[in-house]
C-alpha cells in the first residue's frame, strides 16, 4: 500500500448535501421573481429587513454579543436580538456561534476552520455549506464550542426551530403587501444578506488593507464589504481585537452596527462594552 493510498483512505471525500443545494437554489430562483413584482414599498421592506436581520440580528446579536460577548444586555433583550438573528436564516444561534468561535480559534486551518479561506474563495463563501462535515454540523459535536448557549433551554429551542420563524414572518408580510412583500422580504432579502455576510468569510481574507499586519492570518479591511455588512468588513481590526464591540477603528471606518451598540449604551441597556486599547 502506497503512502498516497493511505492518505486517500484516511480522508474520504466529503459527502455532498443535495438538501442544502436544493434549499439555497430554491431561494435564489424565487428571489429572481422579484423582477416581475417590483414596487418601491417591497424594495423598502427588503432593505429594512436586510438591516434589521443583518446588522441587529447577525452582526450585533449573533456575532458581537453572543459569539464574543463584547457587551452585555438584559437577558430578555438578548433573547429578542437572538430571535432577530435567527430570522436571517443563517442557522440557529448555537450553530452560528460555535462555527464562528472555531473560525477564530483555528483561522484559515483547512481542517479546523469551517470556512477556511485557504480552500479558495468559493469554498469559504458558500461551498462549505454543501459539504456539511459532522464536526461543524452535528449538534452533539458543534455544541461543545458554544457551551454557554447550549446550557440555555431557550437557545436550544431556537437552534432547533429557527426556520419555523419564517412562517409568521411570511404571514405578516403577505397581510401587509401581498406576494411582492413575501418575495422581497424573505427570498430576495435572504439571498442578498447571505452573500453580504459570506463576503466576510471569503473576500475579507483575500482583499483589502491591514491595520495590523502582525496578525498571523490573512484577515483584511475591505471598505465595500464593510458597507454591505454594517461594519463587519473591517475584518483585520476584528481579528486583532475579537472581543471588542467596535470594528471600525479609524475615523473613516464606518461601523453602523457600532452605532446601534452605542445607542443601547446611551439608553443604559448595553453594559460592560469592550473597547479597543488606546493606541
Residues 54 and 90: their CA atoms lie apart, in Å, by: 10
User: What mean pLDDT comes out for the span 90-109?
Assistant: 97
- Residue identified by cell 490573512 is 218
Per the CB < 8 A criterion, the answer to whether 211 and 72 are in contact is no
Per the CB < 8 A criterion, the answer to whether 256 and 262 are in contact is no
Q: Could you tell me the pLDDT band of residue 279, with boundaries at 50, 70 and 90?
A: low
Residues 269 and 33: their CA atoms lie apart, in Å, by: 40
pTM of the model: 0.93
Residue 6 lies in a domain: no
Q: What is the pLDDT of residue 278?
A: 76
| pLDDT mean across residues, the chain | 95
Nearest to 218 by CA among 128, 122, 116, 129: 116
Q: What is the pLDDT of residue 199?
A: 97
Q: What is the pLDDT of residue 247?
A: 97
Q: Could you tell me the pLDDT band of residue 215, with boundaries at 50, 70 and 90?
A: very high
Residue 204 lies in a domain: yes
Residue-wise burial string across 187-226, b where 16 or more C-beta atoms lie within 10 A, e elsewhere: bbbbbbbbebbbbbbbbbbeebebeeeebebbbbbbeebb
Q: pLDDT digits over 131-188, tens only?
A: 999 999 999 999 999 999 999 999 999 999 999 999 999 999 999 999 999 999 999 9
Give the domain extent around 47. 17-266
Max alpha carbon distance in the chain (Å)? 67
Ramachandran assignment for 272, one of left (phi > 0), alpha (psi -120 to 50 degrees), beta (any other): left
Torsion over CA of 47, 114, 63 and 152, rounded to 10 degrees?
A: 120
The rounded radius of gyration (Å) of the Cα atoms in the chain is 19
Neighbouring C-beta atoms of residue 17, cutoff 10 Å = 14
C-alpha cell at 233: 468588513
Instruction: Give me the number of domains the chain comprises.
Output: 1
| 169: Cα within 13 Å, side-chain hemisphere | 23
Q: Chain centroid to CA 57: how far?
A: 9
- How many H helices and E strands in the chain? 15, 0
User: What mean pLDDT comes out for the span 253-273?
Assistant: 98
What secondary structure letter does DSSP report for 151?
A: T
**Is the pLDDT reported for residue 2 higher than 60?**
no
In angstroms, the first-to-last Cα distance of the chain is: 57
Q: What is the pLDDT of residue 5?
A: 40
Contacts of 196 (CB under 8 A, 6+ apart): 50, 54, 228, 229
What secondary structure letter does DSSP report for 4?
A: H
Residue 255 lies in a domain: yes
Amino acid at each position: 500500500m502506497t503512502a498516497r493510498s493511505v492518505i486517500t483512505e484516511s480522508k474520504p471525500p466529503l459527502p455532498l448535501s443535495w438538501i442544502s443545494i436544493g434549499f439555497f437554489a430554491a431561494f435564489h430562483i424565487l428571489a429572481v421573481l422579484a423582477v416581475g413584482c417590483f414596487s418601491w414599498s417591497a424594495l423598502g421592506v427588503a432593505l429594512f429587513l436586510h438591516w434589521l436581520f443583518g446588522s441587529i440580528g447577525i452582526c450585533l446579536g449573533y456575532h458581537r454579543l453572543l459569539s464574543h460577548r463584547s457587551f452585555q444586555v438584559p437577558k430578555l433583550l438578548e433573547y429578542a436580538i437572538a430571535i432577530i438573528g435567527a430570522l436571517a436564516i443563517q442557522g440557529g444561534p448555537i450553530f452560528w456561534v460555535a462555527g464562528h468561535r472555531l473560525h477564530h480559534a483555528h483561522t484559515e486551518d483547512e481542517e479546523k476552520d469551517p470556512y477556511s479561506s485557504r480552500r479558495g474563495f468559493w469554498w469559504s463563501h458558500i461551498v462549505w455549506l454543501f459539504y456539511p462535515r459532522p464536526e461543524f454540523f452535528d449538534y452533539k459535536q458543534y455544541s461543545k464550542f458554544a457551551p454557554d448557549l447550549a446550557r440555555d433551554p431557550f437557545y436550544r429551542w431556537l437552534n432547533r426551530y429557527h426556520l419555523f420563524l419564517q412562517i409568521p414572518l411570511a404571514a405578516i408580510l403577505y397581510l401587509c403587501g401581498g406576494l411582492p412583500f413575501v418575495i422581497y422580504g424573505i427570498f430576495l432579502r435572504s439571498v442578498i444578506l447571505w452573500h453580504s455576510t459570506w463576503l466576510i468569510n471569503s473576500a475579507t481574507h483575500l482583499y483589502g488593507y491591514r491595520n495590523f499586519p502582525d496578525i498571523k492570518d490573512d484577515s483584511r479591511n475591505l471598505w465595500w464589504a464593510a458597507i454591505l455588512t454594517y461594519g463587519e468588513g473591517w475584518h483585520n481590526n476584528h481579528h486583532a481585537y475579537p472581543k471588542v464591540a467596535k470594528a471600525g477603528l479609524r475615523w473613516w471606518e464606518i461601523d453602523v452596527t457600532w452605532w446601534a451598540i452605542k445607542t443601547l449604551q446611551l439608553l443604559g441597556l448595553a453594559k460592560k462594552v469592550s473597547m479597543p486599547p488606546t493606541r
